[in-house]
């Protein structure tokens, strides 16, 4: 894509027209509407990752029948000059253009358009010649063209732009004007000059943007690291990483666990809060209020006299140990993500230093967290209506900045929907100006509008309601909603199979097949997904009580020891699924998810493919974890890049089985006792130079 530099320092006539300039806008005849991508009328930025091509479309039209010139302008935030490229006409006055984002941070873009008098003249001249109009008419029109070319040359000269273009345009104007007597041969030569590509390209380069309309204000796009759109997260409690029973795990133990995480194929290791844990009202096993000596408490009850959100729990190790962990993880291609939970235990230094940051009861005591009938005596929520709200905001921002300065770039934010939305609107963009590589995962299992608002305010990705979407209709409806182009411009879904707070009834009752099925669905429906392990790969399914989604003997309140070598473990299945994710670019995005029809509602069939069509993945899942299910899948062949009648191979990336299919309808049978899902890579037959058939 060729681009040119552009500045607004042009002549009086070529300044952009704006709604605030009604007199000037009166001479601007072009209308620009419905520019995309655009989030809430441009209030919030669209989102992309490094290397993405941003496709911009707009409705652009004017009165009459003259030709338009439409260009896309873009620049990295802070750059003085705009780059521009011409947009192409689609249909019904819709135009499209593209630019690539190569750096982290913000970009601006806008659309500008004007009446192109020269292209209109060329078009009409061709029509006159084709209609056989008299030479005198053609000659007069050639003179009009010469005048347009000279005007462009004069404008270019006045702006001190490209002397070579000025010379070229004046020479063309002379050729168009020559032979004014209307000689027939001369008319043909002059007409040929009018259609030369060099004249057209030079005129485009120095075009007079007379009475230009520009979409104002410019729109923005935030560019984040690729992990923000494609990543696999593994959550584990460091204190449960010790190999010896009864010992508190350390960062050194987590470091020793890293090869296991890498073997599973995860690229993000997410740790719950690593800070000192308060002792006042510390919770005992299974969230009981009775705490015995030695009970570790909940990591989300943050803070003691030894420190709060910038401190490390002494039983986990030192800051040096933490830096060793970060370095060892980087060596294996793994990022370490930290949990940020903005709340405090009664022992947190903030309680004594800034009691105004908390809500108080009528008796003057600080109110603990409540979600009636639940009461969390070990946690004090923050008061975002505090008189010292600015001091609170600044301190919370500095918590992020502290860990960013210590090498952490990814954060899972606990319950952001219970904190001020205005705070997030300020905090995240402000941080990303200084730390554009930072990534924020929103843990907001809340109402859809609040979830979407948090995404618009700056969160890079978001947990979703995926854990509770089990039927084919539920999954199709919800994932279709999440992958609409306008939603994908600001909300990136992170599909999680389970969390320390979520053990769904489906996993409690479905056995091994339910765990494998949910793994495949999360990892392929979502370019970003995560599991909470080792409970997931070891298929922990015991609820605290019937009807509860809490784990019995939850790691939130006690240290657990896990047998990672258990023969029942799903570790090898997880590794194969994650390898398929890495090797198939189609699974690196959610922009081309397509659901195919089946004649059995228990079978869910969908595909993902790359924009180029050179990689396509087809997934078929038996949604019944108890019974074998069979039926016909009816494929939209265009979506997987297969032509009608073409034979193609489907290669199961989990079992390594291969099948030859042909046509849109093919039979599938899945026994959950064996494997409840196919994860097919589409391989099309090609013929080599030696006439040997193989599948690519």
Listed residue (519, 620, 525) closest to 570, CA to CA: 519
Structure confidence at residue 189 (pLDDT): 85
Beta bridge partner(s), residue 662:
647
Q: How many Å apart are CA 358 and CA 380, to the nearest integer?
A: 7
522: tokens are 């999360």
Q: How far apart are CA 416 and CA 384, in angstroms?
A: 12
| Token pair 């060329």: residue | 122
How far is the CA of 27 from the CAs of 17, 59, 287, 502, in angstroms?
9, 19, 71, 61
Order of strands across the sheet that contains 94-100:
30-36, 53-62, 94-100, 88-89
Cis peptide before 607 (omega within 30 of 0): no
Answer whether 619's CB lies under 8 Å from 677's CB: yes
Q: Are the beta carbons of 586 and 592 closer than 8 angstroms? A: yes
Tokens of 307: 């420190």
Whole-angstrom Cα distance, residue 72 to residue 313? 52
The residue written with tokens 């050729």 in the block is 175
Q: Could you tell me the two tokens for 590?
A: 């959610």
Name the token pair of 358: 């908390």
What b/e readout covers 590-610, taking b as 16+ CB neighbours within 10 angstroms? beebbbbebebebbbbbbbbb
What is the distance between the alpha carbons of residues 267 and 453, in angstroms, rounded to a whole number? Answer: 27
Residue 86, beta-bridge partner list: 71
In angstroms, the CA 274 to CA 317 distance is: 10
- Evaluated on CA atoms 214, 220, 225, 227, the torsion sign reads negative
- Residue 560 corresponds to which tokens in the numbers above? 């657990």
Residues 645/677, Cβ–Cβ less than 8 Å: no
Residues 563-615 pLDDT 10s: 999 999 999 999 999 999 999 999 999 999 999 999 999 999 999 999 988 99
Tokens of 287: 């969230």
Q: Which pLDDT value is given to residue 61? A: 97
Longest pairwise C-alpha distance within the chain: 109
**CB of 87 closer than 8 Å to CB of 2:** no
Question: Pairing state of beta strands 647-652 and 677-687?
Answer: antiparallel
- Distance, CA of 678 to CA of 524 (rounded, Å): 11
Query: Hey, how many other C-beta atoms are within 10 angstroms of the C-beta on 126?
Result: 13
Question: Cα separation of 313 and 301, whole Å?
Answer: 12
Percent of the chain with pLDDT over 70: 93
**Given this model, what pLDDT does residue 391 score?**
98
Distance CA(366)–CA(566), nearest Å, equals 46
Q: Cis before residue 534, ω within 30 degrees of 0? A: yes
Among 24, 29, 91, 87, residue whose Cα is nearest residue 56: 87
Q: Where are the alpha helices (DSSP H) in 504-561?
A: 505-525
Model pTM greater than 0.85?
Answer: yes
- Nearest alpha-carbon partner for 492 in 143, 257, 226, 684: 226
Q: How far apart are CA 329 and CA 409, in angstroms?
A: 13
Residues 6+ apart with CB under 8 A from 546: none
Spell out, as residue ranges, where the chain has pLDDT lower than 50. Answer: 1-2, 4-23, 180, 182, 687, 691
Q: Where are any strands of DSSP class E within 501-613?
A: 528-532, 593-598, 603-609
Domains of the chain: 4-223 (2.60.40.10), 591-695 (2.60.40.1180)
Instruction: Tell me what pLDDT residue 405 has.
Output: 98
Residues 6+ apart with CB under 8 A from 449: none
pLDDT digits (tens, 9 = 90+) for 78-133: 899 999 999 999 999 999 999 999 999 999 999 999 998 988 888 989 899 889 89
- Distance, in Å, from the CA atom of 87 to the CA atom of 83, rounded to the nearest integer, reads 13
**End-to-end Cα distance, the chain:** 30
pLDDT attached to residue 6:
43
Strands (E) across 42-181 are located at 46-49, 53-62, 68-76, 82-86, 88-89, 94-100, 105-115
- How many angstroms separate the CA atoms of 190 and 172, rounded? 10
SS3 80: coil
| Alpha carbons 678 and 562: distance in angstroms, whole number | 29
Dump pLDDT digits (tens) for 415-464: 999 999 999 999 999 999 999 999 999 999 999 999 999 999 999 999 99
3-class secondary structure, 642: coil
The answer to whether the CB of 156 falls within 8 A of the CB of 169 is yes
Give me the sign of the Cα torsion angle 123, 126, 131, 132.
positive
Burial 500-509 (b: 16+ CB within 10 A, else e): bebbbbbbbe
Active-site residues, by number, are 414, 443
- β-pair partners for 508: none
Ramachandran bin of 281, using left for φ above 0, alpha for ψ from -120 to 50, beta for the remaining angles: left
How many Å is the Cα radius of gyration of the chain?
31
* Predicted local distance difference test score (pLDDT) of residue 206: 79
d(CA 596, CA 605): 5
382 neighbors 344 (Cβ within 8 angstroms): yes
């Amino acid at each position: 894509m060729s681009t040119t530099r552009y500045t607004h320092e042009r002549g009086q006539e070529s300044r952009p027209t704006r709604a605030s300039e009604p007199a000037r806008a009166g001479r601007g005849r072009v209308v620009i509407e419905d520019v995309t991508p655009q989030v809430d009328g441009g209030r919030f930025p669209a989102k992309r990752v490094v290397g993405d091509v941003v496709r911009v479309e707009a409705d652009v039209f004017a009165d009459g029948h003259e030709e338009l010139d439409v260009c896309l302008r873009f620049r990295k935030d802070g750059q003085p000059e705009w780059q521009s490229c011409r947009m192409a006409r689609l249909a019904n006055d819709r135009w499209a253009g593209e630019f690539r984002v190569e750096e982290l941070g913000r970009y601006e873009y806008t659309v500008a358009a004007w009446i192109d008098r020269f292209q209109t003249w060329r078009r009409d001249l061709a029509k006159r010649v084709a209609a056989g109009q008299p030479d005198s008419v053609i000659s007069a029109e050639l003179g009009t063209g010469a005048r347009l070319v000279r005007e462009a040359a004069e404008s270019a000269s006045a702006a001190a732009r490209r002397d070579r273009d000025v010379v070229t345009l004046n020479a063309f104007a002379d050729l168009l004007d020559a032979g004014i007597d209307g000689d027939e041969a001369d008319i043909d030569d002059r007409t040929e000059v009018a259609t030369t590509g060099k004249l057209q390209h030079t005129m485009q380069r120095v075009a007079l943007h007379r009475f230009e309309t520009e979409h104002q204000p410019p729109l923005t796009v935030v560019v984040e690291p690729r992990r923000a759109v494609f990543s696999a997260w593994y959550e584990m409690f460091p204190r449960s990483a010790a190999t010896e029973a009864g010992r508190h795990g350390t960062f050194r133990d987590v470091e020793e666990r890293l090869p296991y995480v890498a073997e599973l194929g995860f690229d993000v290791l997410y740790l719950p809060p690593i800070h000192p844990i308060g002792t006042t009202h510390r919770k005992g096993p299974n969230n009981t209020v009775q705490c015995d000596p030695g009970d570790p408490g909940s990591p989300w009850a943050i803070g003691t006299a030894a420190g709060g959100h910038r401190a490390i729990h002494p039983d986990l190790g030192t800051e040096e140990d933490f830096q060793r962990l970060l370095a060892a993880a980087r060596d294996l291609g793994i990022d370490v993500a930290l949990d940020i939970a903005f709340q405090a235990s009664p022992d947190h230094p903030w309680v004594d230093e800034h009691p105004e940051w908390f809500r108080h009861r009528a008796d003057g005591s600080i109110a603990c967290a409540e979600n009636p009938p639940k009461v969390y005596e070990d946690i004090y929520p923050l008061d975002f209506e505090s008189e010292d709200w600015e001091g609170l905001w600044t301190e919370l921002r500095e918590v992020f900045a502290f860990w960013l300065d210590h090498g952490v770039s990814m954060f899972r934010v606990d319950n952001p929907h219970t904190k001020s939305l205005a705070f997030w609107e300020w905090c995240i963009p402000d941080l990303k100006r200084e730390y554009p590589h930072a990534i924020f995962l929103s843990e907001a299992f809340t109402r859809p509008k609040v979830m979407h608002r948090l995404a618009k305010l700056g969160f890079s990705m978001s947990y979703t309601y995926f854990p509770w979407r089990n039927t084919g209709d539920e999954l199709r409806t919800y994932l279709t909603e999440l992958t609409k182009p306008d939603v994908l411009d600001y909300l990136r879904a992170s599909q999680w199979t389970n969390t320390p707070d979520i053990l769904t009834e489906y996993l409690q009752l479905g056995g091994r097949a339910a765990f494998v099925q949910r793994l495949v669905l999360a990892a392929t429906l979502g370019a970003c997904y995560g599991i909470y392990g080792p409970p997931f790969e070891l298929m922990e399914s015991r609820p605290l009580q019937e009807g509860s989604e809490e784990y019995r003997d939850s790691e939130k309140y006690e240290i657990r020891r896990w047998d990672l070598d258990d023969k029942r473990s799903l570790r090898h299945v997880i590794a194969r699924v994650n390898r398929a994710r890495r090797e198939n670019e189609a699974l690196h995005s959610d922009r081309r998810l397509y659901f195919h029809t089946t004649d059995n509602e228990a079978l869910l069939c969908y595909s993902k493919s790359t924009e180029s069509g050179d990689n396509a993945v087809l997934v078929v899942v038996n949604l019944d974890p108890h019974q074998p299910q069979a039926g016909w899948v009816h494929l939209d062949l265009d979506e997987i890049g297969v032509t009608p009648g073409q034979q193609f191979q489907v290669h199961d990336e989990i079992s390594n089985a291969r099948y030859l299919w042909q046509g849109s309808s093919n039979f599938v049978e899945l026994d959950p006792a064996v494997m409840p899902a196919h994860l097919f890579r589409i391989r099309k037959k090609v013929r080599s130079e030696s006439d040997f058939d193989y599948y690519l």
